[in-house]
Amino acid sequence: MSLELFGHPFSSYTWKALIALYEAGKSFEFRNIAGNEYPENEAAFLAHWPVGKFPLLVEHGVPIMESSVIIEHVAPDLIPADRDAAREVRMLDRVFDNSVMTPVQAIVAEHLPFITNVPDEGRIARARAALDKVYPWLDDRLTGRRWAAGDSFTMADCSGAPALFYADWVQPIPKERGALCEYRAQVLARPSVARVVDEARPYRHLFPLGAPERD
Ligand SMILES: N[C@@H](CCC(=O)N[C@@H](CS)C(=O)NCC(=O)O)C(=O)O
């Protein structure tokens, strides 16, 4: 197979790339690096990308890392041709990664026993405060929009879906943030997104804070 995606089915950034691949209808081989289940996949992955961050795309032996770069490569139609519209998509993609996923990852990391046995409560509180700051901004930005960046499903939704899926688990989005809650529900119902959520169900026991009985 000339196109391989290395990743973990429960990983938010892997979801980003998978959603784009499903949207584009691309054929590819998913190389699962979950735990010790597939040691050959993990070895091949680390040989390509010793840093060890996933997802990683390998096309005809050429490694392509970073989820947004992978998306621009496999699903260019998820970026609008119009320059201003493309800027909005890329900006929201960065906001979802840097201002939503990064604090979510910080909170999750503080609850992973292989990282620490003593959660850093200060780091957790700062990450929760960061999410509380970005929720109203996103609520405002998404008001009146069908998808994150406007009328069409774009790369911004590939990042918005996993970011908000997990953000709401670690720091629930207040009900008053109606546009944000509605957007989260709507993007989770998109078939490409529902598919990654379903494929990850067997791994929910790995969520260190305890996966809620919903979604
Ligand atoms: N900027 C990277 C972030 C990737 C990332 O943080 N992936 C997480 C999994 S969701 C990871 O690799 N965690 C393992 C580690 O950091 O060693 C991207 O967009 O691909």
Tens digits of per-residue pLDDT, 168-198? 999 999 999 999 999 999 999 999 999 999 9
**For ligand 1, what atom is nearest to the CA of residue 55?**
20
Nearest C-alpha to atom 18 of ligand 1 is from which residue? 66
Q: Where are the alpha helices (DSSP H) in 25-171?
A: 39-48, 67-74, 83-94, 102-109, 121-142, 155-170
Q: What is the share, in percent, of the chain residues with pLDDT greater than 70?
A: 100
pLDDT, position 1: 57
**For ligand 1, what atom is nearest to the CA of residue 65?**
20
Is residue 167 within 8 Å of residue 173, measured between CB atoms?
Answer: yes
Question: Chain-centre distance of CA 73, in angstroms?
Answer: 17
Return the number of other C-beta atoms located less than 10 Å from residue 24's C-beta.
15
Nearest C-alpha to atom 15 of ligand 1 is from which residue? 53
Ramachandran angles phi, psi of 189, nearest 5°: -85, -15
Pocket test for ligand 1, best of 6, 54, 69 (most atoms within 8 A of CB): 54
pLDDT, position 181: 98
| β pairing state of 29-32 and 3-7 | parallel
pLDDT, position 8: 97
Distance, in Å, from the CA atom of 215 to the CA atom of 211, rounded to the nearest integer, reads 10
Ranges of the chain with pLDDT below 50: none
Distance, in Å, from the CA atom of 124 to the CA atom of 132, rounded to the nearest integer, reads 12
Q: Taking the model in full, what pTM does it have? A: 0.97
Tell me the two tokens of residue 118. 């003593």
Question: What burial class does residue 67 get, using C-beta atoms within 10 Å of its C-beta: 0-12 exposed, 13-18 middle, 19+ buried?
Answer: buried
Nearest C-alpha to atom 11 of ligand 1 is from which residue? 53
> Is residue 159 in contact with ligand 1, taking CB distance under 6 Å?
no
